[in-house]
Structure 1
Amino acid sequence: MRKKAQLITAMMLFSTTVAVSQMKVREELPEKYKWNLSDLYATDDTWKEEKQKVQQNMQKAASYKGKLTQSATVLLEALTFNSALIKEMSRLSSYASMKSDQDTRVTKYAGMKQELQQLFSEYGALTSFMEPELLTLDEDKLNTFFAKEKELVTYKFYLTDLIRKRAHRGSEEVEKVMAYSALMAGNAANIFSTFFNAEFPHPEIELNGERVKLNSANFALYRASEDRGVRSKVFATYFRKLNEFQRTFGAQLYGNINAALFTTKARNYESTLKRALDGGNIPTDVFHNLITNVNGNLETFHRYLNLRKRMMGLDTLHYYDLYAPLVEKVDLEYSVEEAIENILKSLQPLGTHYVDVSKRAFHERWIDMYPNEGKRSGAYSNGSAYDVHPYILMNYNGKYNDMTTLTHELGHTMHSYLTNKQQHFANADYSIFVAEVASTLNEELLNDYMLQQIKDDKTRLAILGNYLEGAKGTLFRQTQFAEFESMIHEQVAKGEALTGEDFDNMYLDLTKRYYGHDKNVCIVDDYVKSEWSYIPHFYYNFYVYQYATSFTASTALSEKVLRGTDQDRKKYLNFLASGSTKYPVELLVDAGVDMNTSEPFDLTIAKINKVMAEMETILKRMGK
């Protein structure tokens, strides 16, 4: 589990944004920039009371054992009970998780997270009889039940999908063991998160006469420095510190892969990839075709890298140059207020309701905006509190990329909000495969809006360049990550043990191939081998490829939203409100894009090349 063209002077932004980003004490941050978790539970004590109620209530699950297939009425009652309980447990989990993410050093909230993990595991064991019993239903009897109890239609997709996966479900005893195994399944990810966010000794570095701790937020900030010496020093220092813990990171990731392999074998899947994709009934060809298509279009990626080298005036492009501004002395920094204004205006093609709810997210404290000491790194949207509203975690540093990250997470939030309002809880979740469509389409709309406002050649170059940065980071980089995942999972499935050093070697070779190191397109310094060790998504098991597929889907859909008919926009908004009422590939077909074809990918490559052609034209006009 994860949304005006007025520019201000760099000095003004430096005095506001950097000052906030370096605040070390959460209590010093203005309340309006912190999420309000009391919307979930008024106090920690309230949370504890509700948890105790759930613990007592869930014991009733046993009363349905052996009765699920006796009548449509009992089946509906059991599924309603189960859905309501999971809804409350998800809300409890959201609170504990987000409280912990505010400051990962606070052991109280880490403990509350663990309590919920245990609660889910305990409930899974209590209800381990349910799916084996349901799997004894044949299609005719199930259809009879649907005819007798009209309200059962709420659970129709769940029941028919369960029967589809009959071969991957076991007996009651097997399901009980699988439920208990959940206590261990997430250990590697939990250890990684705690170690990296709370205990990892982030290095200190001297920059411009000041000592700076290279935590995740500052690494993201200073790797984008216009000073090449700063970038080089920051990258080398950060990655070399990561490498000091190569064995630890390696053991964690290897443990995670083995946990995935255990579940894969226990569930009778031929591979961890097949199991990961089968949840959404997604053909593995979608994954493999993405990697094949990207590898077949690395020349387009290298064209971008050569364009970056040209624009930066470099003889040799290094990996540490990839986050630097493409255009010198162009102010692409925005206060939070400016970012909000730009985002809301860019979203107008999606209609008044979409914009109004987005305003609520900004003004009703759905967002935790700025970094603070101990806060979880990165950004996400959490929409699992069905009866409340989604939340967004940010680490805003005032860069253009931070503004795009904010609208990205807002896209997730709107997806969750709309589907939660439209669908019953049982159908309100949505597949990871479609999760990134709303977020990346929001980014497309923001880029389009900014380009409409800005006519200055230098600034347009920077905005167009930002689109290319998105393509680099979302299509090419995430596909590289997906290929790395595929490689390491395949190796472990063959019975090979992998160490941190093995991960280093595989990652470095792959990165050099993608970035054209041997062709002198972009030099990948050896310390880049450690980059895999701080990427949390490798613990999600075949999550990242969906960033890339969503990028191609959103490229196709954004054209329909911006330049299509009202009906095209309505189809997209209906898609956002559809939850899990259909399989994700089918939902995208309804929205107007078919992921079984190469068309979305081809359109995306065409757009990338079109953007580069416009940039090259501007450079020629500028005499460069």
Structure 2
Amino acid sequence: MLTKSFRSKALVCIILFTMLFSSLGVYAEGNNIPTREEIAEQYKWRLEDIYETDESWEADYKKLEEMIPNVAEYKGTLAKSSRNIAKCLSLVSEIRRLYDKLQVYAWMRSDSDTSVDKYLKMGDRADSIASAIDEATSFIEPELSSIPESKLKNYIKDSRLKDYDIYLESILKRKEHTLSEAEERLMALAGTLSSTPENIYKAFKYNDRNIKKIKNENGEELVLSPATYSMLLESPNRNTRKKAFEGEFGSYKEGINTLAATLYGEVKTNIFNARARKYNSALEAALLSSDIEPKVYDSFIEAVNNNLEPLHRYVSLRKKLLGIEDKVHYYDMYVPMIKSVNSNIPYEDAKKMVLEALKPLGNQYIKDLEMAFDNRWIDVYETKGKYSGGYCWGSYDTHPYILLNYNGTLNEVSTLAHELGHAMNSYYSNKKQPYSKADYVTFTAEVASTTNEAIMYDYLIKNAKTKEEKIYLIGSYLEQIRGSIYTQLMYAEFEKNIHEAAESGETLTASFLNETWGNLMKKYYGEDFEVDELVKLWWSRIPHFYWNFYVYTYASGLSAGINLSDKIINDGEDARDAYLDFLAAGGSDGPIDLLKSAGVDMSTPEPVEKALQKFDQLLTELEKLINK
């Protein structure tokens, strides 16, 4: 089950690198951002598929309010029979399904234009009623946990509970971490406070932050909106990149003590929840809820630390190709090393590229992608007030939706393939699995998306028409691996370090967080990279640190994706079919076992090591092409 950071159980998968939000869309001119009314309907998601009107949403909200108290009639009855358990869990599923639908609609309406208070309030109401649901259902796990193990195991055999067997087995596994009914109720009540650090962070980032203006090399004054900042980091003019970086990071520096206190609040919340449930650490609490052993997390960090030399080489190559005489800075890491040969790809062409590249996944998969395009699952372009990122979201009773801020770059084509991977994963899981087993856990959330990206890059590189195009594509793939594995595991190591520090009594001040971050950057990026004082604030811009040990899943996802894509491309229909079965499996088994069935063993560091070997191989190929 996904955490509060993902707006509860409904699936939401935020694309990585939120700090590199999409550049200006093809409808934007200069620094002007169009309104939604200026965008053709075919490029806007059709939320009417969820609710035709806001009044319909209100009617379901009222219905949900009336349903919640009905759960109380099962209090004290669960140990009596499997029939009572089945009826109770069926009612809770019905409640949560309706809640998911309400929440998805409200927040996606809000994300369409964040300046509209009406939908922000609807989203807040949806979030608030989630607490009422948690409180009303807080007796269930303690009651189930109190049933003698042999008796509960016998109940699980009842066919009426076949949709809930995975959940009930997880109750047995978590028995020692389940509290008394009164304690669980208090935990549910305290849950209303747990989103406060993230809400403060978002309020600063989106409302209170002093967004800077800079002048580019042509003397044009530009507002550093997320999209514009992303665009400027890719500018060939180093001084423009530097000014954009200083303006963006400087806006966070102005609130750095507040942001440090906010992140410290998040960490303390995680530690409180872990200790209250008798886990050894916040990391253990976060991972075991997804049936992942902490040693898996640690093995990934060890694997990346053992393979930092290729990243150091990559930084050195970037320095050489960009003609940098001093050291490489943060603002030098996102500009293409080679001039882009695909700098303006119309969205319609991007669709064709994705459909062609993903053909190894089979005819039905391609037909389903075409359905997503044709039926307005996707909100394509940046508009005024629109949420500045990219994600896939939906509920069991809706089709998936995708939010983009498409800008015509190859990176955005890759983002499109990425989010469609999420969409198909959800679509197939929801079709194949009952509600109770449809949700996939955090650990597998990024596999489908990154497999799509890996397949797409393989196709593009193999079909490059010129040496220059091939060089550019390899460089882009290297950036993908750097961003998804090296960078995300550096984030993961930071997250682990600060939680361990807080658990041992350290106060997470801004200076402590800055130094912790700076030391990691020195280790990861090597001698040719300059860790200046301002870049040490990078941690303060990362929303993922409010998602309770989520970032490592980007690395596990792409590592699995690279391994699986190689199998799909090279091993034929059996490998493809095993992968498609995985996409439809949802949460019907443990994540490690599901991935083993698909063809990759994530209980070992081997997939991460193989992915980093891929980085090394691509880098070697790039060096040879450049030296020809």
TM-score for the superposition, normalised by structure 1:
0.94
Could you say what secondary structure the match of 1:19 adopts? coil
Query: Conserved in 1, the CA contact under 8 Å of 2:69 and 2:136?
Result: yes
The DSSP-based 3-state class of the residue aligned with 1:212 is strand
Cα shift readout 1:51-87 (whole Å, capped 9, x = no counterpart): 0101001111011111112122221111111111101
Q: Deviations over 1:225-265 (max 9, x none)?
A: 12222111111111112111112211221111111111111
Q: Does 1:166 align with 2:175?
A: yes
Equivalent residues of 1:221, 1:397 under 8 A apart = no
Cα shift at 1:381? 0.8
Counterpart CA distance in 2 for 1:535 and 1:109 is 25
- Is the contact made by 1:146 and 1:153 (CA closer than 8 Å) also made in structure 2? yes
1:317 aligns with 2:324: no
Give yes or no for the alignment of 1:527 onto 2:538. no
Alignment of 1:292-331 (within 5 A): 292-315=302-325, 316-328=327-339, 330-331=341-342
**What is residue 80 of structure 1 aligned with on the other side?**
90
Counterpart-to-counterpart distance in 1, 2:256 and 2:213? 19
Q: 1:331 offset after TM fit, Å?
A: 3.4
Q: Match of 2:155?
A: 145
Q: Structure 1 residues 510, 405: CA separation in 2 closer, same or farther (over 3 Å shift)? A: same
1:81-480 equivalences in 2 (<5 Å): 81-147=91-157, 149-207=158-216, 208-315=218-325, 316-328=327-339, 330-383=341-394, 385-480=395-490
Higher alpha-carbon deviation: 343-352 or 66-75:
66-75
Structure 1 residue 496: deviation in Å?
A: 2.2
2:548 maps to which of 538, 541, 544 = 541
* Counterpart check, 1:71 vs 2:78: no
Q: Which residue of structure 1 aligns with residue 19 of structure 2?
A: none
**Secondary structure of 1:88 counterpart:** helix
Distance in structure 2 (CA, Å) of the matches to 1:597 and 1:522: 31
Query: Structure 1 residues 15, 386: closer, same or farther in 2, change over 3 A?
Result: closer
- Which has the larger displacement, 48-57 or 233-242? 233-242
Whether the 8 Å CA contact 1:553–1:593 is kept in 2: the answer is yes
Query: 2: CA distance between counterparts of 1:231 and 1:614?
Result: 28
Contact 2:448 2:561 in 1 (8 A): yes
Separation of aligned partners in 1, 2:57 and 2:487: 40
What is the SS of the residue equivalent to 1:427?
Answer: helix
Change (3 A) 1:408 1:15: closer
1:541-580, Cα deviation, whole Å (9 max, x unpaired): 1100111111111111111111112111110000111111
Q: Which moved more, 1:470-479 or 1:486-495?
A: 486-495
Cα displacement (A) at 1:219 = 1.0
**What is the deviation of 1:310?**
2.4
1:497 matched residue in structure 2: 507
Q: What is the identity, as a one-letter code, of the residue corresponding to 1:83?
A: S
Contact 2:47–2:105 under 8 Å retained in 1: yes
CA distance in 2, matches of 1:62, 1:524: 57
- Quote the offset at 1:329 in angstroms: 5.5
Aligned to 2:20: none
Structure 2 residue matching 1:370: 3-state secondary structure: coil
Asked if the contact 1:105–1:198 (Cα under 8 Å) also holds between the matched residues in 2, the reply is no
Tell me, in whole angstroms, the C-alpha distance in 1 between the residues paired with 2:440 and 2:552.
Answer: 16
Q: Which whole-Å CA distance do the structure 1 matches of 2:464 and 2:239 have between them?
A: 31
1:617 counterpart residue number: 624
One-letter identity of the residue aligned with 2:535:
V
The question of 1:557 aligning with 2:564 is answered: yes
Amino acid at match of 1:583: G
The alpha carbon displacement at 1:143 in A equals 3.7
CA distance in 1, matches of 2:24, 2:128: 45
Please tell me the residue identity of whatever aligns with 2:477. Answer: Y
- Secondary structure class of the residue paired with 2:462: helix
Tell me how far apart the structure 2 counterparts of residues 31 and 176 of structure 1 sit (CA, whole Å).
46
Tell me by how many angstroms 1:453 deviates.
2.0
2:577 is matched with 570
Q: Is the 8 A contact 1:17 1:335 kept in 2?
A: no
How many angstroms does 1:270 deviate by? Answer: 1.1
Give the Å deviation of 1:20.
Answer: 8.9
Q: CA 1:532–1:70 in 2, change beyond 3 Å: closer, same or farther?
A: same
For 2:236 and 2:411, locate their aligned partners in 1 and report how far apart those are by CA, in whole Å.
15
Letter in 1 for 2:379: D
In the aligned structure 2, how far is the partner of 1:329 from the partner of 1:498? 41
Separation (CA, whole Å) in 2 of partners of 1:69 and 1:522: 61
User: SS where residue 392 of structure 1 aligns?
Assistant: strand
- Distance (whole Å) between structure 2 residues aligned to residue 267 and residue 203 of structure 1: 44
- In the alignment, the residues of structure 2 paired with residue 359 and residue 164 of structure 1 have an alpha-carbon distance, to the nearest angstrom, of 42
- For residues 258-317 of structure 1, give each alpha carbon's deviation from its aligned partner in whole angstroms, at most 9, with x where no partner exists: 111111111111111000101111111111111111112111111111222222233342
Distance in 2 (alpha carbons) for counterparts of 1:187 and 1:33: 34
CA distance in 1 between counterparts of 2:335 and 2:621 reads: 20
SS in structure 2 of the partner of residue 205 of structure 1? strand
SS of 2:245's equivalent?
Answer: helix
Shift of 1:17: 5.4
8 Å CA contact 1:246–1:501 kept in 2: the answer is no
Shift in alpha-carbon separation, 1:17–1:480, aligned structure 2, 3 A: farther
Distance 1:15 1:400, change over 3 A: closer
Q: Which amino acid letter does the alignment assign opposite residue 120 of structure 2?
A: A
Partners of 1:71 and 1:24 in 2: how far apart? Answer: 59
Q: CA deviation at 1:18?
A: 4.5
Percent identity (aligned): 38
Alpha carbons of structure 1 residues 19 and 373: separation in structure 2 relative to 1, 3 Å: same
SS, match of residue 373 in structure 1: coil
- Offset at residue 14 of structure 1 (A): 9.0
Please say if residues 24 and 382 of structure 2, whose CA atoms lie closer than 8 Å, have aligned partners that are also in contact. no
The one-letter code sitting in structure 2 at the alignment partner of 1:167 is: E
Distance 1:44 1:112 in 2: 10
Residue pair 1:239, 1:527 contacting (<8 A) in 2 also = yes
* 1:608 matched to 2:608: no
* Deviation by residue 1:378-431 (Cα, 9 ceiling, x = unmatched): 211113x11110111112222111111111111111111110110000001111
SS class of match (1:184)? coil
Unaligned regions of 5+ residues in structure 2, if any? 1-5, 7-12, 15-22
Q: Which amino acid is the alignment partner of residue 204 of structure 1?
A: K
* CA contact 2:249–2:538 (8 Å) conserved in 1: yes
- In structure 1, the residue matched to 2:10 is none
SS in 2 for 1:183: coil
Whole-Å separation in 1 of the counterparts to 2:87 and 2:339:
64
**CA shift digits 1:581-615 (9 cap, x unpaired):** 11111111111111122321222122112111211
Question: Is 2:27–2:34's contact at 8 Å kept on the other side of the alignment?
Answer: no
How far apart, CA to CA, are the structure 2 residues paired with 1:545 and 1:79?
32
* Equivalent position of 1:6 in the other structure: none
CA distance in 2, matches of 1:467, 1:42: 41
Q: Which consecutive aligned stretches of 4+ in structure 1 deviate over 4 angstroms post-superposition?
A: none
1:598 lines up with 2:605 in the alignment:
yes
Given the two structures, how large is their TM-score scaled by the length of structure 2?
0.94
Residues 21, 372 of structure 1: 8 Å contact kept: no
